[in-house]
Chains A and B, each alone.
Chain A
């Protein structure tokens, strides 16, 4: 599926480090653990209602997705849907559809 555009991108990674409060001193101890892969929300813009509905259905099927981009290497990844799939009719244009997907990057 090919959205017209991906509307912005922001990701975050949950850190696994554990902080331990040491009694009697200011200092803390840390035990290090790897951070989890990226999470965030993808906003995909579709020009047609049919494409938007098909994309929603695909995401709902519970498979892994790969993102390919002609412009930004940073967003190239595999992901699994980790939260809600939200389909919105764009308020301003009343024409294009916006599909929002909460993602969790997974090792491909």
Chain B
């Protein structure tokens, strides 16, 4: 005989904490590695006064939190476990007066929060999935962030095709296309190592010294097909010479301006300005976003000198492109930019004097990192995290982790049929099936726009699983392989009910010695602690060892 005692307590967190009476039939706490939230609990409370019940009103912000503790004594061993969960709601039976309280781990909060407007803040962190996750966590739950370990990360940088329609954006060959307006003069500058372009060339505007220096202008006439109704991004780099600010800075000194009109340029112009750097040796990357009206006909790009000084203002790295969803996609490129594994750059006509196309070599488009208005934080993160073969989990201690397929929680659980150990089977089942997606050797995932990610372990596959993600933007390949690998490492389904062992948790290694069955090993997928019966039910996908 193995005898043990299990004591449960619960309280609402606050100053001070307020104890909650637990009914004898206290309910369950469930860990499930296949669902979000990872931890969910239903607790039956005993007789409770209305002031305490008010503390559990989940309509308040911040959401009330409940701590549940379990203290267990076994022969020669004690265990304790604490659960820190947020209140999802309660329901009180008027006949018994006992409320049923539902609490969950913090992923539940990520399902509460939806973006109110399209949120492109994640692009800043796109070189690191952890950065993206932390950005979303921080914006939903103050102070929430991933634990330092496990360190699993992924580059989720998005890539998109683009065209730099500025044919001569860096004076690589000459200054053609640009005309000087006002006083001063225009020349081509070489050896401009401050410039981003690979040729180290730039436009140089000399001031006249006597009057306010002019500007150089690139004009697009009769350009309705190029600009009409489109959203554009303009960028350029400004560099001042050492003495330019000795003179008087005019109203437009160092500015970049974009002007547009709805006629051939003879009537009135609308404009958008980016203010220049007006310091000695100053340097600035200008950027302007312009949404052109449908009937735009004329567009002018103006880069200013604007100082009353004989010294120069340099300009280079001019790019005008249709705007990407990615706000960080404002780097300069031209056909001389070195091709990489991710991008290919091609002059469309003459080198240095024509449009440049940038072609994405990696298939991960910016819509996967745009947190669209109306989507929950979890809906936004799920496809990106899964494409990296990871899972986002918040455990019962509010610790956020990204877990890969090999992740194992600390500790281990060993369950046997009969015998003399602690975890002896009270009830259980064992199953092998081609159905219910327990096992598959191939997987197809369909995303928005009909994009498909598939993976097959054998050719031809014997059982193919289908996952519908048609509401999610294409996050790149990866998830299908993750599903197949996981299904093959864990293809036998076991559930087992034993005495509650408070060191057991989901994602923990588990072994089973079952009746007339080979030894089985795997990871716990689901564990339900039953506070009413002091038992736990472990569900696992396992393989024969």
Enumerate chain A interface residues (CB-CB to B < 8 A).
Answer: 16, 18, 20-25, 27-33
Pick the contact of B425 from A24, A30, A32 — CB < 8 Å? A24
**What's the minimum C-beta distance from A64 to chain B, rounded to whole angstroms?**
14
Q: List 17 A-B contacts (CB under 8 A).
A: A16-B24, A18-B533, A20-B426, A22-B424, A22-B426, A23-B424, A23-B427, A24-B425, A25-B418, A25-B419, A29-B1, A29-B424, A29-B499, A30-B1, A31-B5, A31-B499, A32-B3
B4 nearest CB neighbor, chain A only? A31
Interface string of B1-24 (1 = CB under 8 A from A): 111111000000000000000001
B269 at the interface (CB under 8 A from A): no
B90 at the interface (CB under 8 A from A): no
Q: Give Cα A29 to B499, complex, Å.
A: 8
Pick the contact of A31 from B3, B417, B425 — CB < 8 Å? B3
**Contact call B3/A23, Cβ cutoff below 8 A:** no
Chain A contacts for B263, CB-based, 8 A: none
Chain A contacts for B6, CB-based, 8 A: 31
Count of interface residues, chain B, beta-carbon cutoff 8 Å: 21
Q: Give Cα A24 to B425, complex, Å.
A: 9
From 502 to 544 in chain B, residues with beta carbon under 8 angstroms from any chain A beta carbon are: 515, 533-535
Chain A contacts for B417, CB-based, 8 A: 23-24
**What's the minimum C-beta distance from B46 to chain A, rounded to whole angstroms?**
13
Chain A contacts for B4, CB-based, 8 A: 29-32
Q: Give Cα A27 to B426, complex, Å.
A: 11
**What's the minimum C-beta distance from A47 to chain B, rounded to whole angstroms?**
39
Q: Give Cα A70 to B424, complex, Å.
A: 53
**Contact call A31/B534, Cβ cutoff below 8 A:** yes
Interface string of B73-96 (1 = CB under 8 A from A): 000000000000000000000000
**Contact call B5/A29, Cβ cutoff below 8 A:** no
Give me the 4 closest cross-chain CB pairs, A-B, nearest first: A24-B418, A31-B534, A32-B5, A25-B418
Chain B contacts for A25, CB-based, 8 A: 418-419, 424
A31 nearest CB neighbor, chain B only? B534
Pick the contact of B2 from A16, A18, A21, A29 — CB < 8 Å? A29
Chain B contacts for A30, CB-based, 8 A: 1-4
Q: Told that A20-B499, A22-B426, A28-B1 touch, could you supply 17 new A-B pairs with CB distance under 8 A?
A: A20-B535, A21-B426, A23-B425, A23-B427, A23-B428, A24-B417, A24-B418, A24-B515, A25-B419, A29-B1, A29-B3, A30-B1, A31-B5, A31-B499, A31-B500, A32-B3, A32-B5
**Contact call A22/B425, Cβ cutoff below 8 A:** yes
Q: Give Cα A71 to B392, complex, Å.
A: 69
Q: Give Cα A25 to B5, complex, Å.
A: 22
Enumerate chain B interface residues (CB-CB to A < 8 A).
Answer: 1-6, 24, 417-419, 424-428, 499-500, 515, 533-535
A30 nearest CB neighbor, chain B only? B3
Q: Give Cα A16 to B535, complex, Å.
A: 15
Q: Give Cα A16 to B4, complex, Å.
A: 13
**Contact call B499/A23, Cβ cutoff below 8 A:** no
**What's the minimum C-beta distance from A14 to chain B, rounded to whole angstroms?**
10
**What's the minimum C-beta distance from A20 to chain B, rounded to whole angstroms?**
5
Q: Give Cα A31 to B2, complex, Å.
A: 8
Chain B contacts for A24, CB-based, 8 A: 417-419, 425, 515
Chain B contacts for A20, CB-based, 8 A: 426, 499, 533-535
**What's the minimum C-beta distance from B28 to chain A, rounded to whole angstroms?**
15
Q: Give Cα A33 to B72, complex, Å.
A: 11
Q: Give Cα A57 to B398, complex, Å.
A: 55
Q: Give Cα A21 to B417, complex, Å.
A: 12
Q: Give Cα A23 to B499, complex, Å.
A: 12
**What's the minimum C-beta distance from B417 to chain A, rounded to whole angstroms?**
5
Q: Give Cα A21 to B3, complex, Å.
A: 12
Q: Give Cα A20 to B530, complex, Å.
A: 13
Q: Give Cα A18 to B5, complex, Å.
A: 10
**What's the minimum C-beta distance from A31 to chain B, rounded to whole angstroms?**
4
Chain A contacts for B3, CB-based, 8 A: 29-32
Chain B contacts for A27, CB-based, 8 A: 1
Q: Give Cα A16 to B8, complex, Å.
A: 14
Q: Give Cα A23 to B417, complex, Å.
A: 6
Q: Give Cα A47 to B499, complex, Å.
A: 56
Pick the contact of A23 from B24, B500, B515, B535 — CB < 8 Å? B515
Chain B contacts for A28, CB-based, 8 A: 1
**What's the minimum C-beta distance from A17 to chain B, rounded to whole angstroms?**
9
Q: Give Cα A16 to B418, complex, Å.
A: 25
**Contact call B534/A23, Cβ cutoff below 8 A:** no
Q: Give Cα A33 to B419, complex, Å.
A: 25
A28 nearest CB neighbor, chain B only? B1
Q: Give Cα A31 to B499, complex, Å.
A: 8
Chain B contacts for A31, CB-based, 8 A: 3-6, 499-500, 534
Residue of A16, A27, A29, A33 with highest tally of chain B CB at under 10 A: A29
Q: Give Cα A28 to B24, complex, Å.
A: 22
**What's the minimum C-beta distance from A81 to chain B, rounded to whole angstroms?**
17
A23 nearest CB neighbor, chain B only? B425
Chain A contacts for B533, CB-based, 8 A: 18, 20
Residue of A22, A28, A30, A32 with highest tally of chain B CB at under 10 A: A22
**What's the minimum C-beta distance from B420 to chain A, rounded to whole angstroms?**
8
**What's the minimum C-beta distance from A62 to chain B, rounded to whole angstroms?**
14
A20 nearest CB neighbor, chain B only? B426
**What's the minimum C-beta distance from A27 to chain B, rounded to whole angstroms?**
5
Q: Give Cα A25 to B533, complex, Å.
A: 20
Q: A18-B534, A31-B534 are in contact. Are A23 and B426 (CB under 8 A)?
A: yes
Chain B contacts for A16, CB-based, 8 A: 24
Q: Give Cα A85 to B1, complex, Å.
A: 43
Q: Give Cα A25 to B418, complex, Å.
A: 5
**What's the minimum C-beta distance from B428 to chain A, rounded to whole angstroms?**
8
